[in-house]
Amino acid sequence: MKGKFISIVVAAIFCVALAGSAVAEEINAYMGTSPDNNAKIAQFIKDKTGITVNQTFQSFGEIEARVKAEAPNFNADMIIGCGSSTGFMAKKNGWTVPYVSPAWKGAPEVFVDPQGNWYNIGNFSFVLVGNKDRLAKAGLTMPKSWKDLLEAKWKGEIVMPSPLSSGTANMMRFSFLALYGDEEGWKFLQGLDKNVHHYTRSGNAPTDLVGRGEFILGITSDENIKKRIDDGYPLVWSIPVEGTGYDGTFALILKGTKKLDACKKIVDLLGTPEFSMVMADIGYVTPRPAENKLYGKTLPNYIKLDLGKAADDKSKNNDIWKAKLRSEFE
């Protein structure tokens, strides 16, 4: 009797639990923008195409690691939002399904691969953020040049992400190396390291920590700044005179997908001016002209970059970074 009762209960719970998986057109995607922006993008896709995008939030670095580990049997159909290095790597290794989308015709070359291996849905940059209240209290003003960050008065008051786990931090690193050249660039990073309190896991984390006033300055992704300020964080942001770097937010179709038609539909949608508006509204610089929420109509001053080289140098630079910046690493 008892056994029967339990098995009925167990079976009932199982049925309820498994009934949740209904059938509809849906794809799995690795998405590397922030959790709420991922949701916004997925919702937009759902509204316009009816396709449900299942996603987990991961940082750019994590997506790259995931893709490398899984290749060539991917657990997702697409990536919507990964760093350029992942996009180039996927193209080189043949991990993508090339598709030359008519909807992307005429987009500038930074935004679309001629062979259709990847599509850049928006460039993002890094900026300097400061906590208004803490700056005022300490009688300090926002630095005008990146070099000003090396001054001793900022010791222990700067946070930035770690390039080992964050794509945004990798962008900061290759931008500074491009700006100052390899030798001067590493000297700058080492000097900066003396003032940096610690390196965070995620590229957006400094925005929050500075917003809370835990630290006065942060070097952080420009992605969510506007939203955080609207939320009520006492933040100021600026781009020092030397300018900022940029990296793409790539989308691509992963080899082995069984839902190619759905993926193509999504790629087409990503190339439309309407989607560019969505991305610009979050704060990205987009393939189709749209007014940027953070920068407005005038775009920031960019450091000259070679994203292909940056992708090739990434692993080498990780080793140098550890050797030079991790105390007692040698």
Partner 1 sequence: MARAEYSLKLQAGSGSRIKDFLNANLINILAALLFLLLAFFLLYPIIAVLIKSIRGPSGFTLEYYRAFFTKNYYYRSLFNTLLLGTINTVVCLVIGFCLAYMTTRGPYLLRKPLKVISLVPLIAPPYLFALSLIILFGRNGLVTRMFDLHWQLYGFAGVVISQTLAFIPLAYMMLENTLMSLNPNLEESAYDMGASEATILRTITIPLMAPGLLKAALLIFVMTIAEFGNAAILAGRTPFLAPDTYTMITGESDFNMGSVLSVVLIAPCIIIFFVHNYLLEGKKFTTIGGKPVASEPRKITPIIKIPLIIVTTMATGAIFICFAVVLAASFYKILGVTDKFILANYLDFTSNQAIANSIRVSFVAAVIGAVIGVLLAYVIVRGKFFGRTFIEMASLSGFALPGTVLGIGYLLAFSAPPLKLTGGIMILALNCVFRFLAVGVEAGISKLHQIHIEIEEASADLGASFLTTFYKIVLPIMFPAFIAGFIYTFMTAIVSLSAVVFLVSPGFQLAAVKIFDAAVYGEIGIASATTIKLILIVMLCMAVLNYITKKTRLGSGLKQPVA
Subset of residues 224 to 263 that bind partner 1, contact rule: CB under 8 A: 228, 231-234
CA torsion 19→24→27→31, rounded to 10°?
Answer: -70
23, 24, 69, 152: which one binds partner 1 (CB under 8 A)? 69
Residue 84 sits in the site that holds partner 1 (CB under 8 A): no
Total binding residues toward partner 1, as defined by CB under 8 A: 71
Residue 97 sits in the site that holds partner 1 (CB under 8 A): no
Name every residue whose Cβ is closer than 8 Å to that of residue 214 and which is 6 or more positions away in sequence. 159
Evaluate the CA torsion angle 257, 262, 266, 272 in order and state its sign: positive
140, 164, 239, 277: which one binds partner 1 (CB under 8 A)? 164
Distance CA 180, CA 184 (A): 5
Instruction: Say if CB 246 and CB 240 are below 8 A apart.
Output: no
Neighbours of 195 (CB within 10 A): 18
DSSP 112: B
In this complex, which beta carbon is closest to partner 1, that of residue 225 or of residue 279?
225
Q: Which residue has 């159909």 as its token pair?
A: 77
130 CB-contact burial (10 Å; exposed 0-12 / middle 13-18 / buried 19+)? buried
Residue type, position 73, single letter: N
Residue 107 sits in the site that holds partner 1 (CB under 8 A): no
Residue 6 sits in the site that holds partner 1 (CB under 8 A): yes
Residue 328 sits in the site that holds partner 1 (CB under 8 A): yes
Residue 47 sits in the site that holds partner 1 (CB under 8 A): no
Residue 326 sits in the site that holds partner 1 (CB under 8 A): yes
Q: Which residue has 């770690």 as its token pair?
A: 162
Residue 201 sits in the site that holds partner 1 (CB under 8 A): yes
Residue 9 sits in the site that holds partner 1 (CB under 8 A): yes
45, 127, 171, 208: which one binds partner 1 (CB under 8 A)? 208
Give least dist CB 318 to partner 1, A. 6
Q: Which residue has 């610690």 as its token pair?
A: 198
Residue 327 sits in the site that holds partner 1 (CB under 8 A): yes
Subset of residues 165 to 184 that bind partner 1, contact rule: CB under 8 A: 165-166
Residue 272 sits in the site that holds partner 1 (CB under 8 A): no
Instruction: Say if CB 235 and CB 129 are below 8 A apart.
Output: yes
84, 120, 175, 202: which one binds partner 1 (CB under 8 A)? 202
Residue 312 sits in the site that holds partner 1 (CB under 8 A): no
Q: Which two tokens mark 290? A: 């749209």
Q: With CB under 8 A as the contact rule, which of the stretches 63-71, 172-180, 238-246, 284-292 interacts with partner 1?
A: 63-71
Q: Which two tokens mark 155? A: 């010791």
Residue 62 sits in the site that holds partner 1 (CB under 8 A): yes
